[in-house]
Structure 1
């Protein structure tokens, strides 16, 4: 019988262990894509107008107003101011009508009431032959203020009645001057009761 003289081992013989693969370095994270650099000549969005410049406001439906829109707005303002340039402003429709005296139709019609009626309208009838509009107002003024002149003579003994008739004369002159000027562009004839119909009939018979 053979004897084993190997030294005593209190542990079991080494068993070959399964080794894990060697540790490797983790791959570096993928570099993030950087935005392309903008060249000096590249397009950049326009900056919004300054809040303090010329009272410019943003309209969500139309965007920021352009210089052309500002010019159109300014032109519209000038036209509005020009159309409201006062009582004696220039009106384009007046140029369509000619008069014998070479005056504007509205100015000459106003003279039928401002030219010392009833003498002024009679003189106007002697020289104006082209415009029926002017002749109508001249006839109407001559007839109306002729009757008022007779009333002045009749009631000359009463100072109060004379002043009342004078106030009526001045009010009628102002009102009819306004109507003659306003209606000149459409050539509408504003008729004083009774005297307006007589003036129309005389004008139709000429």
Structure 2
């Protein structure tokens, strides 16, 4: 019972846990007896899949009911929740679903609203549709996000040692301007994107 109470207490979010990005007590879950795990599962199912800690804990349980709850959450979840599902329960979804979730997140989410987690996923999983979403975001999203997308593209194409190369910050900062056509063309050249595709994307961004 002590482990169930530990887990229950960890489900109460406070400012410190939110700031530190602390999820539920997975150590208590791992140490729980089968009977305790069943009680914890009931707590989670009654609480509902609202945010990444719920997804993480249900994925760790990995019972039939937990998997069903995660699949249902995807059907009605927002972009932020779908990114969490792809982060912790990607094995429940096919590549097409994973790709669609990341593309949606790159289009609409913000920092602290799912975008940071989406970019972490993109480091390891970046099919052509995700690359295209990054390119379009460089042209269309607000400045700081556009700069982050440009930095990620440089990294994914072997032109930077990490997802945000501080040594190239001056180049990335150019994407914080409203006029991004020139730096975008330079980005395309650096990452090896063909001229015709680059020109087409610039034209489409101005419509």
By relative contact order (CA 8 Å, sep 6+), the higher-ranking structure is 1
Q: Shorter chain as normaliser: what TM range? A: under 0.3
TM-score (norm 2): 0.21
More helix by share: 2
